[in-house]
A = this chain, B = another copy of it.
Amino acid sequence: MIDQRSNKPLTPWRRMTHDIIFEAETPAGRAFDIVLLISISLSVFVVILDSVASIRAAYGPLLDALEWFFTLVFTVEYAMRLISVRHPLRYARSFFGVVDLLAIIPTYLSLFILGSHYLIVVRLLRLLRIFRILKLAEYLREAKMLRRALRSSQRKISVFLLTIITLTVIIGAMMYVIEGEANGFTDIPTSIYWAIVTLSTVGYGDISPKTPLGQMVAAIVMLLGYGIIAVPTGIVTVELSRARTSVSTRACQSCGGADHDDDALYCKHCGEKL
């Protein structure tokens, strides 16, 4: 069933299927992508509604039917994808191939295992496909820029995260000793959780220091959080501003000036045509 010969041309109808499913430039491909996007959103919406007790009580069977309908549609789609690509195994092992498979398995599993209620969440990974569709459509060049900015500051972010983790472990242990189990800091992991809640300025208040010393340490942690929250912002801002400026580096052939805007037709330094 699966065609593994790599260089032979695909049969016309497989080529057509491929064009519709994988391409987004043709009208048919674009229409398919939009239908898929709506289907994914609707199927996720059905799962979300199904989790609300009152709605499940009233429309349970309808929601189940819809879930099965979407699962069957996505199963057919998955089979079509496997058939129409030149290297089905390579697709099946790719990130989106795995996501496509995981998106349909939980519903089938619920036939055999009763408790597979918990696996429904995996279906939400389908949402990631929305981004693929958007990307295929060349709709969002910006996403690429954002991702590039984030990737180029990856190492700085790792150092930052390592510092945060070390800090929260030390602060957590300290607060466990200062506040103790009586004040809600039941163990070091819980205290670390508190430290992260505080440093990130989320501040639920489910655990909060009660002793004067604990409140003093907490206050210092918050002032520290001020500076710490500034670091990732600074990193991302610098990377973004760099991504922006490095987008347009055409050098003038006459004077060599390079800091032209994207829409510049003439060199702003010597007036030569670019």
Q: Which residues of A contact B (CB under 8 A)?
A: 44, 47-48, 51-53, 118, 120-121, 124-125, 127-128, 130-131, 134, 140, 142-143, 145-146, 149-150, 155-164, 166, 169-170, 173-174, 176-177, 181, 186-190, 192-193, 196-198, 200-206, 208, 212, 215-216, 218-219, 222-223, 225-227, 229-242, 244, 259-261, 263-273
Contact = CB atoms under 8 A, between A and B. Distances in A.
B238 A212 contact: no
Given A48-B188, A193-B215, A230-B233, A268 B261 contact: yes
A190 to B, nearest CB: 7
Residue among A162, A212, A230, A265 with most chain B CB within 10 A: A230
A188 to B, nearest CB: 4
A159 B142 contact: yes
B124 A170 contact: yes
Nearest to A153: B142
> Interface SS of chain A: helix, strand, loop or mixed?
helix
Given A128-B166, A131-B166, A227-B232, 18 more contacts: A127-B166, A130-B166, A146-B156, A196-B222, A202-B203, A203-B204, A204-B208, A230-B237, A231-B236, A234-B237, A234-B240, A234-B241, A241-B241, A242-B244, A265-B268, A265-B269, A265-B271, A266-B267
5 contacts: A140-B158, A146-B160, A197-B222, A202-B225, A241-B241
